[in-house]
A and B are shown apart, each in its own frame.
Chain A
Amino acid sequence: MMTEPLAPAAKSHAEFSALALTALDDVYRFARSLTRDEADAEDVVQETYLRAFRSWTTFQPGSDVRRWLFTIARNVFLRSLERGKREVTLDDDGAEIVDAAQAQDQWIQKGLDPLLDRADLGPAIRAALDEIPETYRSAVVLVDLEDQSYEDAAEVLGVPVGTVRSRLFRGRKLLQERLFAYAQDAGFLTPSGPTRSDR
């Protein structure tokens, strides 16, 4: 079947549709993790796509469109924070020295370990993500939920790779703390360890 060649604008729009719009679910998830609010996330997604469309000619063909959209989305989000002063984010650009082995022993002793085998942990993890500061949440979401490399996440966040490494470490440990609290609240754990049924 013969098809008419697309005009430059139409071709560009078709490429935008094929590349950028297919990442809408990913952009929404990222925006939702940033804003922790569905309505705010939709605002961020809409503004992200408008900006992306208007600057589509600057997108480098062959580069990672999701990384590009995530970068725009985070900038949109940060701009909204400046306007609304809704949240004060923490920053942690220094190298964090944490005795991981000691922290790990603590978690195992307190019984978080058996919780990880539960099939219904997704909602608890997503709720815990909403509770940690945006600085750490963004790093965790980009690397753990959106499969970005440390280098790609650093580009989206506009920070050095070492900072991503540090924020990931801290963010994951904060998540473990929140999950531990969730497990206690849900009765899976007692202050002294896991319940008998969870052993």
Chain B
Amino acid sequence: MMHNDAGAVPDCNGAMARLFELLDGELTPEVERQVRSHITSCPDCFTHADFEKRFLAALHAAKAGGAAPKQCRERVMTALRTAGFTG
């Protein structure tokens, strides 16, 4: 489905091309308003946006469990002390 509404509101391709920037909070307020305006009025793009939003949420949640192993921390501290670190 294509939209070519009047004004600066983008069509489907234009809105979807900026979807990740929208979800990442990287758009200017004016462009964000324009993209959101299209998405809220287009069922296909709304579904697409909802999918990508949940995908990014799952991706962000994958960060858990990434702490450095104890031996890595010990290696770093040993190397630093050898280099003169006294902290």
Seen from chain A, the residues whose Cβ lies within 8 Å of a Cβ on chain B are 9-10, 13-14, 16-17, 21, 24-25, 27-29, 32, 38, 41-42, 45-46, 49-50, 53-54, 99-101, 104-105, 107-108, 113, 116-117, 121-122, 125-126, 129, 140, 143-146, 149-150, 165, 168-169, 172, 175-176
Contact = CB atoms under 8 A, between A and B. Distances in A.
B55 A108 contact: no
B68 A116 contact: no
B33 to A, nearest CB: 19
Contacts, number: 123
Contacts of A105: 44, 48
Given A17-B87, A107-B51, A122 B62 contact: yes
A24 B24 contact: no
B71 interface: yes
B73 A24 contact: yes
Given A10-B86, A49-B80, A108 B62 contact: no
Given A50-B80, A100-B17, 8 more contacts: A17-B87, A24-B72, A28-B68, A42-B71, A101-B16, A121-B62, A144-B56, A165-B21
Q: Is the interface of B mostly helix, strand, loop or mixed?
A: helix
Interface residues of B, number: 42
Contacts of B45: 101
Contacts of B54: 113, 116-117
A42 B83 CA distance: 17
Given A13-B87, A108-B51, A101 B44 contact: yes
26 contacts: A13-B87, A16-B87, A21-B76, A24-B68, A28-B68, A29-B66, A42-B75, A45-B68, A45-B72, A53-B80, A101-B13, A107-B51, A116-B54, A121-B61, A122-B62, A125-B58, A125-B62, A126-B62, A129-B62, A145-B59, A145-B60, A145-B66, A146-B63, A165-B20, A168-B24, A175-B59
B48 A100 contact: yes
B6 interface: no
Nearest to A164: B26
B31 interface: no
B8 interface: no
Contact of B64 (A32, A122, A143): A122
